[in-house]
Structure 1
Amino acid sequence: MRFFVPPRATGRARLHPSLAIALAVAALHGANDAYAAFLHPLLPRIMDKLELSIADAAVLTATLGIAASLAQPVLGHLSDRKGRRLMIVLGPIVSGVFLSMIGLAPSFGILLGLLVLGGLGGAAFHPPAVALAARVTEGKGSGMRHAVFSFGGAVGYAAGPLIAVGLVMGVGLEGLWMAAIPVLLLGGALYRILPNALPETDPDAAPTLGVLALLAGPLGLLFGISAVSAFIQRLFLTMEPIVMAEAGRSEVTGAVALSLYLGAQALGTLSGGYLTDRVDRRQLLVGLTLLAFPAHFLAFWFPAGSAASLLFAIVAGFLNMAVLPPIVVIAQEIAPGRAGRNSGIVMGLAWATGSIAMLAAGAMGNVLGARAAALVASPLALLGTVFALGGGLDRHRRPPETTRSSS
């Protein structure tokens, strides 16, 4: 019989303190999310190459989002039982290899296949990575550790559009495959740094499919907030470059707008993580979701590429990602022994739901145009506020009391 040995009980744990592990995983997170951001700024170019409509573009972004999200609860459950290191390293490699090949796709169908394979790499990475980085069983500070992890991903996500457009401008769309080389080197370098101990699990926890019953409680409210946030983010990432192109703005301007939005999300994760450990979490979620609507609406309302539009894009990005640390930390505190599984639900399953909703926004874009569709859909952000006001979150307003171990 195999027993889990808590990291503090081994000499090896001193070589892998929580923050150091969070930093290593954050580096892989940055790589993984940089590749996930390649598609959006290249949409106008890909649409021209393959003669696609706005609805087709929405299908592409939804496919990537669903592939990167829907399998997360299952893969998180698997990592809780079998160990996390292999998935944490292989996920970004798979994501990087296939998403760097999208420029080679000769048809819509092959492009969809590459997006599915690349997305599955992200699905394998996120649940075990966030569980290892946050380590909620170690008590207060999990919000900040999660923020470090999320910051790495947000920085990568912000850099991705500029990397993709810069590389494509230099070597063409077909040369984008060269972007896969760095993640192969990074994965090999960090594999030995990450701990290989089995995660601490709860043998009495519900199976992965059975946990869906928990969506009737606080986990369901967190799921709802996360799904709405994911939809609003994907709405911006999909429509903004198309709005820029329709307004006659350059591909670089579109990439800059996305990078400003995503760069602000990096600051949002740090701020959200810091506040998660210090303020009333329910009030935090209510405030962030309430302000997200006007910020996103005004980012589309002002002329594309204008100073006002870019300013509100920054504010919108900050607010959109600041909700993630409290969502994930509360979800993990609900069942610490199934941190990977619960993370998969409030991230993966919720993000997939938000991606599916993008199909309707894309169809609306075909009829109304990208900008009008974005303005009509933006008020849906207020649904997040409705979920945040749910009484089921009352028990999770503050971090749980923990007993600190002397070091």
Structure 2
Amino acid sequence: MSENQRIQYSKIGVLSLAHMLNDLYSNYLPQMLPFLVALRPDFSATRAAILVSAFTITSSLVQPLFGYFLDRQGKRWLVYVGTLWMGIMLSLTGIVQNYLLLVILAALAGLGTAAFHPQASTMVNVLSGDRKAVLLSGFVAFGNFGFALSPLLLVPLFQTYGLHATLVTVIPGILVAILLLLYAPKNNVLVGSNTPLSVVLRSLKSAAPELAAIIAVIAIRSLAYTGMLTILPLYFKAEHLSNIAGSQLVTIMLACGAVGGVIGGFISDYYGRKPLIVGSLVLSTPLFFGFLYTQGTLSTIFLGLAGAALLSSFSVTVVAAQEAIPENKALAAGLTMGFAGGLGGLAVILIGRIGDTWGLTSAVTVIFLLPILAGLFGLFMKSHPAARTQRIAAR
């Protein structure tokens, strides 16, 4: 393996740690929702969905723009500046009283993660040699663990000290930004392609059917995922669970999802991207309903398995898009981790409206039906040889 192809595990580790914090911040606002409902009687499910969507949309829909820019330039500073920016914006959310200002802060915070994700995922791709799917799965798993840690850390913090405690949450952002400044890969690792826009558009056009199927899968999965993060805390509160108990259930779902993401990377490496994506998404819907209609330990087991199934395809869809447009990896990451997720984040407002109109149980039912729909769209993806098969053939 040449110097350029050698896997650089230490730098991937730093980027993965930063991803964990970024995604902890990305799941920040949903943890505030039960407290905002308690403090503000007019804080409806629709308002909650708009707040979360403001962050999701700006963090997602502009990612392809960052991705196109980064494919041309390769700017390492975006990973640490983006992380610090998001930490600062979110730390201010607990001290504002005006709802519109809260939404603006949420939207501004989203720009930080929009800057981080395309650059960081491209760095991991470049540093991963011939183990891209597995190592990107590890990178994504750290992010999912960050999501899982959010309710575990933030809900007790807010319950003990109130929402003004958001101010102290900027400290991890500062520390990780310094770590990235010191240890993120240098610009010479990230060679910009300077590809003209016309060439990029032709590449997108030729890969359009494949990308359309991948984006549809991700958008619907993202709607389900964002809907759960937004509605489940409110649903648990309506079912008279304590904030701590509700946060623990969300943590279990997300932690199992993180493990599922790593397992999904290995399975796709052996059996191919499409079988993993379709199979896991179709399986997750009955598992979620198993959680909804059972009690106690069995219900919790179903929730963990459902979370693992839902998120097992998370990194696999990113790699599938990067394989569809291999000369524009950051753009592919922006389209999948960003744009497609933003479409789902925008649609979650409709889920909030369903909750206000027909009740939170109806909203949860709709959310749990979405993964099987995403799996059906996955059937339109192209079938490619498994990465392990390609490696064996290349020997």
TM-score with structure 2 setting the length: 0.92
Question: Match of 1:242?
Answer: 234
Distance 1:108 1:29 in 2: 29
Matched, 1:395 2:390: no
SS at match of 1:337: coil
Distance 1:319 1:214 in 2: 31
SS at match of 1:217: helix
Shift of 1:197: 2.4
Do the aligned partners of residues 119 and 302 (structure 1) sit closer, same or farther apart at CA in structure 2, a change above 3 Å counting? farther
Question: Match of 2:359?
Answer: 369
Question: Match of 1:135?
Answer: 126
Instruction: Report sequence identity in percent.
Output: 26
SS at match of 1:249: coil
**What does 1:76-225 correspond to in 2, within 5 Å?**
76-135=67-126, 138-139=129-130, 141-198=131-188, 199-204=190-195, 206=197, 213=205, 216-225=208-217
Return the letter of the residue paired with 1:234.
T
SS at match of 1:297: helix
Shift of 1:19: 2.1
Distance 2:232 2:293 in 1: 11
Q: 2:279 aligns with which of 264, 287, 294?
A: 287
Do the aligned partners of residues 302 and 46 (structure 1) sit closer, same or farther apart at CA in structure 2, a change above 3 Å counting? farther
Question: Match of 2:10?
Answer: 20
Q: Is the 8 A contact 1:95 1:119 kept in 2?
A: yes
Unaligned segments of structure 1, at least 5 residues: 1-6
Return the letter of the residue paired with 1:394.
S
Do the aligned partners of residues 330 and 378 (structure 1) sit closer, same or farther apart at CA in structure 2, a change above 3 Å counting? same
Q: CA RMSD in A?
A: 2.6
Q: Is the 8 A contact 1:264 1:318 kept in 2?
A: yes
Distance 1:301 1:271 in 2: 27
Do the aligned partners of residues 211 and 161 (structure 1) sit closer, same or farther apart at CA in structure 2, a change above 3 Å counting? farther
Question: Match of 1:4?
Answer: none
Q: Is the 8 A contact 2:221 2:370 kept in 1?
A: no
Do the aligned partners of residues 136 and 331 (structure 1) sit closer, same or farther apart at CA in structure 2, a change above 3 Å counting? farther
Shift of 1:47: 2.1
Do the aligned partners of residues 280 and 162 (structure 1) sit closer, same or farther apart at CA in structure 2, a change above 3 Å counting? same
Figure out how many residues of one structure are paired with residues of the other and give that number. Answer: 392
Return the letter of the residue paired with 2:52.
T
Unaligned segments of structure 2, at least 5 residues: none
Distance 2:8 2:238 in 1: 47
SS at match of 2:142: helix
Shift of 1:205: 6.4
Q: 2:243 aligns with which of 242, 251, 257?
A: 251
Do the aligned partners of residues 179 and 211 (structure 1) sit closer, same or farther apart at CA in structure 2, a change above 3 Å counting? farther
Question: Match of 2:44?
Answer: 53
Matched, 1:384 2:384: no
SS at match of 2:51: helix
Matched, 1:8 2:31: no
Distance 1:92 1:342 in 2: 21
Question: Match of 2:253?
Answer: 261
Shift of 1:213: 3.8
Do the aligned partners of residues 238 and 338 (structure 1) sit closer, same or farther apart at CA in structure 2, a change above 3 Å counting? same
TM-score with structure 1 setting the length: 0.89
